[in-house]
Structure 1
Amino acid sequence: MTIRLDQVLGAERAAALIRHTADELTRQDHLDPRTALHLACERLADGDPLLLAHPGQTWLLRDDVDIDDAPARRLAVHARLTCPPRVLVSDADQPEEIDELLIEVLDLYEITAWATELAAQQGEQR
């Protein structure tokens, strides 16, 4: 199962996120705008957690990953931290306990939900 970003955010918000990510890549990494747009589209379409992970999201374990290799079937993201990139998450079905994980753990998952009000705020803040 592959979830498309427009299915999670809606077409308009997904397009805004792609544009914003491309603008950030252009500004921060001094990339040509066309190259930045291509990279943003490609990496966001692949569900790259380094570009996507933010509070208010739910991530579902990929079908090809064994549950024994993951902290939970569904993760809720509560915060994003830096140096190194990490996330504060909980089991979406048992949110009492929050864990800190390296962001790479989200490579085992795919995004399935993103609180729309938080997505709008994060698009503006990025």
Structure 2
Amino acid sequence: MNALPLDLIIGPHRAGQYIRERVQQLVTADCIPEARAVDMVCTAVLAGDPWTLADPGQTWIPHDEPSQERDGLLAAELYVAQRRGATVLVEDEWAQRAWRPVTVLDGYVLDSWHWARQGTTTER
């Protein structure tokens, strides 16, 4: 298997841990067979799916389309401060924070993950 984009951002060991956690959530919460859950999570990670990837401590930058409006936000980058289920508390480059649906990140790609904030918990 080729390296996942997540491998390049956080390294293959942590990427593997993260993927295993997401797979376990699907298996436990949604009763999805493990093989199918692995396929679903890896496909979502490869696609850069914010629903699967968005977690506190991440910085997301816009896709190559700078004129695309993103849920009222035209930020050069968004920092994910918190996540609660289907919403994220994002901070833009002007330090403006707002709770938005995870889909606000659809116009963005995951750029970096600040592991210093890994003590932050999320509610999924």
- Pair 1:58-2:79 in alignment: no
Q: Deviations over 1:45-92 (max 9, x none)?
A: 21111121111110000013525x13101001111123xx1111111x
TM (norm. structure 1) is 0.82
* Runs of 5+ consecutive residues of structure 1 not aligned to the other structure: none
Aligned to 1:81: 84
The amino acid of 1:103's aligned partner reads: V
After superposition, the Cα gap between the structure-2 partners of 1:53 and 1:78, relative to the gap in structure 1 and judged at 3 Å, is: same
The amino acid of 1:81's aligned partner reads: R
Q: Moved runs in structure 1, 4+ residues, more than 4 A?
A: none
RMSD between superposed Cα atoms in Å = 2.2
For 1:77 and 1:99, the matched residues in 2 are separated by 10
The answer to whether the Cα contact below 8 Å between 1:87 and 1:102 also exists between their aligned partners in 2 is: yes
TM (norm. structure 2) is 0.83
- The structural deviation recorded for 1:16 is 1.1
Q: Deviations over 1:19-43 (max 9, x none)?
A: 1111111111111110111111111
- The structural deviation recorded for 1:118 is 3.5
Aligned-residue sequence identity (percent) comes to 31
The amino acid of 2:76's aligned partner reads: R
For 2:44 and 2:66, the matched residues in 1 are separated by 20
Aligned to 1:106: 105
For 2:90 and 2:42, the matched residues in 1 are separated by 26
Aligned to 1:47: 48
Aligned to 2:5: 4
